[in-house]
Amino acid sequence: MIDPVNKSRIPDEWFERSKLPRNELEKGIMSGMLVLLSDGSVLKRGYTTGTTAALAAKAAVLSLKEDITHVSVPTPVGLRAELDVKASKGHAVAVKMNNDHESDITRGLEFVADAREADDIRVYSGQGIGIVTRSGLESRKGHPAINPRPMEQIRASIAEGVEELGLKGAEVTIYLPGGREIAKKTLNSRIGIIDGISILGTTGFVEPWNDHLGEMKGDLIRDSDRVVLTTGRIGIRYSTMLFPDHTVVLAGSRISEALEAAKGDVVICGLPGLVLKWGNPDMLTGSGFATVVEMLELDPQNERLKKAFEMAVEKGKGARIVVVARDGTVLMDSGESK
């Protein structure tokens, strides 16, 4: 069986170790909400800030006609996300779902949306959604910190509501009453996002994380003679394309731990922000840049980039290091010199 969110294969023996009935477990996995671990235990995914914003937005539109208590929206991986909401007269509240990611500080946060009929689809941000103040991030400087993928998801969700009601369009404003306070617990201000949180999510789902999930990934890595350790969803996508005969494992920021378990043909592939900073965690110190992406965009010949890559190669202990851009362009590849 293949997990529909992270596209990883789930061995049959993991199902055999689980106490849940197989049909119930398969249903939860195929919905995107459950993750099966190697010892048979189960973790719960949640919805991203992008999905929660989309749920609130669509509910607000639908409530222009009648009160809404439950809503469903599309996600970037093709699954549907569903949530109970409170929505009436164009005003909706969706609460970000609990999940088993130990450090997700946005669980339980209220996402509020106000909608009114318009000639086309327009999305605005309000209180609690951050504003980008520096270059190098996915959202442009001076714009709300809503990444392109979740913005597409929000617009698609509004479009469903508009079509269902037979409207020409809708204008929706999304805001987070608790967003500014939550943002103080993030690194947003250090990377150039002020006054709120970011609306993120490439799959629509929050991946769970606890210590045993790390052990499970270790099992998967140890069982693979050809493995790619990658840093995130975009890394998974391009790693699968670049190395189709390898097992692709999401290591996130725990590259060193994953590398300890790896053997055989090992590749570390991902976006520069994690791979290069893994190579040299201090590469931005005193550089004048807030992010690695900003450095790449504004000063692509900066020696710190080359040095961090060299340090990543050394730290990789023989692993091939591949750095890719968000559009899939290979920026650096230690395999080119072999």
Report DSSP state, residue 199.
Answer: B
| Integer Cα distance of 219 and 26 in angstroms | 21
Out of 185, 205, 225, pick the residue that ends a domain: 205
* Same domain assignment for residues 201 and 53: yes
pTM (global) more than 0.75: no
CATH code of 280's domain: 3.40.50.10720
* Same domain assignment for residues 53 and 189: yes
Q: Write out the residue range of the structural domain in which residue 214 sits.
A: 210-337
* Same domain assignment for residues 228 and 304: yes
Per-residue pLDDT reduced to its tens digit, 266-287: 999 999 999 999 999 999 999 9
Residue 255 maps to a domain: yes
Per-residue pLDDT reduced to its tens digit, 218-240: 767 877 888 999 888 788 878 87
| Integer Cα distance of 233 and 230 in angstroms | 8
For 195, the token pair is: 């006054």
pLDDT at 257: 86
Quickly tell me which residue has 């913005």 as its tokens: 151
pLDDT at 298: 92
Q: Is 96 helix (H, G, I), strand (E, B) or coil?
A: coil
CATH code of 116's domain: 3.30.2110.10
Among 250, 332, 321, which residue's Cα sits nearest to residue 296?
332
* Same domain assignment for residues 120 and 84: yes
* Same domain assignment for residues 168 and 302: no
Q: Is 282 helix (H, G, I), strand (E, B) or coil?
A: coil
Quickly tell me which residue has 């010949």 as its tokens: 301
Q: Structural domain tally of the chain?
A: 3
* Same domain assignment for residues 125 and 218: no
Residue 62 maps to a domain: yes
Per-residue pLDDT reduced to its tens digit, 305-337: 999 999 999 999 999 999 998 888 899 999 875
Out of 188, 205, 222, pick the residue that ends a domain: 205
Residue 7 maps to a domain: no
Among 159, 168, 171, 162, which residue's Cα sits nearest to residue 65?
162
**174, containing H or E segment:** strand 169-175
